Amino acid sequence: MFTYKGTSVKEFFRRFPDEYACLHQVFESKWGRSGFCPECKQAGGNWYHCRGTKQYQHRCRARLSPLKDTAFYRSNISLMAWFYGLLLFTNCPTGMRAAFMRRHLGIGSNGAHRLCHQIRLHLASQQRTESLGGPGKRVHVDEVFLRVVVDPALDRRRLSTVLGLACDGKVITGVVPDRKAATIRSAINRFVLPGSTIVTDAARQYAWLAVEGWDHVVINHKIAFHNFDGITNNPIERYWSVLRRMLRLYRQVSDTNLWTFLAEAEFRYNRRHSEVSVFDEVIENFPELSPRTMPILRARFDWT
């Protein structure tokens, strides 16, 4: 469990006064506690920071780079800027534009875009709610169309479909190819626990739910935004408005990167009432980010 160490600017610079403090944080998070050396397969032992590099050396003389397979690998931007970027991303309720990061961190435009993208990947790789609902719980399901840019040069845009599931203040969202019953069925079977009540609008693609034995509540929006028991589909509608507000800030979201924005919005939304410091969560967990893991990561949010 994390302790609340503070997310203020003052606290940040007290904890991370220089590059080494940031590097050491990554090292500690990845290997420090067990001291396990992947080279000689020994646990414990002495590790030394190699002066003037971003590497650590074990007593067996094996050298390790803590930044390998993280969002910060092979970057000219200082590690403090990366950490400060993470602080901004986790403190801000709506999102961070690259132009703001460029001015705020004093880096170039391309660097700022890459930084924001990599931070989004890092947030996407963090722990995620795997399933929703359960006996006696209501899972709200809905789709939304979001405008994305297919080709920035020609200003070609199209609508992308996103499916969302909400329960107990948590959401799971993903890009879907269409809104056909088969697509929705596979998402519901993957994320909703048996015994849940599923709340949807009156669209035809949800008709199979009752047939296949789900407890299905239909809100007919033509009549009212609630049914006769006062059940609404607001939990998921509310999230759509949060997501739309964030995407409006970013102005242009490309088709290929939409899933990273979904991941960012979902990460923040599901932790909005978190008792622990979200900043500490993201600087203590470094799941592998490499070309090998990228398709797996993408498949979590892109269900096409």
Binding site for Zn ion (CB under 5 A): 37, 39-40, 58, 60, 62
Nearer to Zn ion, 40 or 150 (CB): 40
Nearer to Zn ion, 39 or 151 (CB): 39
Q: Please identify which residue in the block is written with the tokens 């924001």.
A: 116
Minimal distance, residue 4 CB to Zn ion, in Å: 35
Amino acid at site 241: S
Minimal distance, residue 91 CB to Zn ion, in Å: 38
Nearer to Zn ion, 3 or 46 (CB): 46
Minimal distance, residue 63 CB to Zn ion, in Å: 10
Minimal distance, residue 40 CB to Zn ion, in Å: 3
Nearer to Zn ion, 40 or 207 (CB): 40
Contact 287, 71 (CB under 8 A): no
Residue closest to Zn ion, measured at CB: 37
Nearer to Zn ion, 53 or 304 (CB): 53
Beta strands in 168-214 (DSSP E): 170-176, 192-193, 197-201
Give 124-128's long-range contacts (Cβ < 8 A, gap of 24+).
124/259, 124/260, 124/263, 124/264, 124/267, 124/297, 124/300, 124/301, 125/287, 125/288, 125/289, 125/293, 125/297, 126/267, 126/281, 126/282, 126/285, 126/287, 127/285, 128/172, 128/266, 128/267, 128/270, 128/300
Beta bridge partners of 216: 198
Nearer to Zn ion, 35 or 152 (CB): 35
Minimal distance, residue 66 CB to Zn ion, in Å: 14
Minimal distance, residue 43 CB to Zn ion, in Å: 10
Q: Could you tell me which residues come within 8 angstroms of residue 139 by beta carbon, excluding any fewer than 6 positions away?
A: 132, 133, 165, 166, 167, 192, 196, 197, 198, 199
Pairing relationship of beta strands 132-133 and 47-49 according to DSSP bridges? unpaired
Amino acid at site 82: W
Minimal distance, residue 57 CB to Zn ion, in Å: 9
Amino acid at site 81: A
Nearer to Zn ion, 30 or 58 (CB): 58
The rounded distance, in Å, linking the Cα atoms of 163 and 148 is 15
